[in-house]
Structure 1
Amino acid sequence: MTGAGTAPGVVDAHHHVWDLSVRDQDWITGDELSPLRRDFTLADLAPEARAAGVAATVLVQTITVPEETPEFLALAARSDLVAGVVGWTDLTAPGVADTLAELRAGPGGEHLVGIRHQVQGEPDPRWLVRPEVLRGLSAVAGAGLVYDLLVLPHQLAAAVEAARHLPGLTFVLDHLGKPPIASGELAPWARQIRRLAALPNTVCKLSGMVTEADWASWSVAALKPYAETVIDAFGPGRLMFGSDWPVCRLAATYAEVIAAARALTTGLGPAERHDVFTGTAVRTYHLPVTARPAPPQEPPCA
């Protein structure tokens, strides 16, 4: 049985897996990232997720090769945890619509919910608004999928322009647009966040924060100004929790990440917290799960 029909307490809207014997993750370089240079599988994630009250997840692409997405879709089809897959395809290729149709028709194709590209690695800060990219994004919208934005703060202006150009496509901002939490700088990033959030076809993930902070000494207090900015700008109805496992392990355990997210949302009411931890992800990604609130949990002291 797959995740379809389950009733999750929490949806983890952003995690990864990889098997280095199948394919290298060429972004894992240097001593700082060496803890990630090993296999991470659903079997590794499942007990941590279940212990944290997570019953459904969204598996997100990691590298820009076409083989990864059908592999992830087949994995989702065999999983009782993964409810959706955000895959990759070359948005600049002329046959994007055909490629997406092929993915949807393949094994596990019903689990394809979105597309993502590592825009953060593109040297052109306006890559998202290139004509060929906008054409590809239009095909994503035409397929009924959403688009995950993996951008750095200086690329947010182009993200705003792309979202404005394609009102029929939902753009999901990963990791708050990677604000400079470690330095404590807020204003330039926050200004662009509010511009993006002003567009109704945008959503944000409360994810990836601990690895943008100081890995060794992060605190909920250090994360709070950035979380409050996106809560205020997007509202709980357009905000969703994501663990960014296993990347988060560079700075925090799975349990610590979800505890931090709960602490950062203590000012919200029960229905609003349900949106952040379940409802927004289910609605945005059209996940085949029942968005039923989890039993209330007390946040940790922070």
Structure 2
Amino acid sequence: MTLLSERRGAATPAPGGAQGRRRSGAPGVSRTAPFLYVGPTVILIGILLVVPVVTVIGYSLFDNVITNPNPKFVGLAHYTELLTDTGFYKSIGNTLIFTVVSVVAHFTIGLAFALLLNSPLVGRMTTAIFRAIYVLPWLFTIAIVAVLWRMLLNPNGIVNYLLGFLGMGQTEWLSNPALALGTVTFINIWCGYPFFMVSMLAGLQGISADLYEAARVDGAGAWQRFRAVTLPSLKPIIISMGLLDLIWTSQQFALIWMTTGGGPVDATELVSTFTYKLAFTRYEFGAASTAAVIVLALSMILAVAYVRHQRDKD
């Protein structure tokens, strides 16, 4: 009995042994594991996002940055100068008009085409043809869109030819200060509505047919079913798409630069082109950084609204 007890005692691990040390070390490993997973992402975000933003904010406080090895600290002078510049306010006004009209039109046209493609009254073959035609503008790059519409709206282009054939005369669509902003807005609407249409179509196909049938049994007409079933079901998509489109359209640069360059006479000058000209035409990188910081602050408002909406939806 004494020998058996001694063997059992020897086989029993001591609380302070290796296994005890492994158990006591396990919680430490579990606490650091999440940081090891998240660490690379945090470092990457810091390098690609935080560092550039901090650098631009720093540039906005100096004059003759980049071009001069010894820039002069001016504090908030660039902000004061920019916020009293009428050209900057004009670019903000043009950006608001361009953005709001584009987003509203994207939603209206995209929803209308999505309803058409989702309608049981349209056959499968017709739906496939219409879908290919409607999505076509989305497949073009901005450069192709700009060249295409500049050719179409050229004084000797097809659009003016048709207007002349109808006896309406020629129009300088992109050279007339009164028409240029509306023209580039139309072009942006044309190339941007498919994004809304595809998203709306996916949302419509996810609505249960039982909801429409129940509304029809209750005596609801087509308009009432649209208001009571379709719009509430699409509401999360509409809000998300609207906020994303506001952010994207407000920062549009390539289309404006390739069609009008912000002209004529600043008629299509957006905040993006205004900032670009400050930096690469006038080489005022400090003032351009200031404009970029202001645009970032305005964009953050939309970004926060989008994130809050996504959080509330979850």
TM-score (norm: length of structure 2): 0.23
TM-score of the aligned structures, taking structure 1 as reference length: 0.24
Larger gyration radius, structure 1 or structure 2: 2
Larger proportion of strand: 1
Work out which structure has the larger RCO, using CA pairs closer than 8 Å and 6 or more positions apart in sequence.
Answer: 2
User: Which structure's residues are more often helix, by fraction?
Assistant: 2
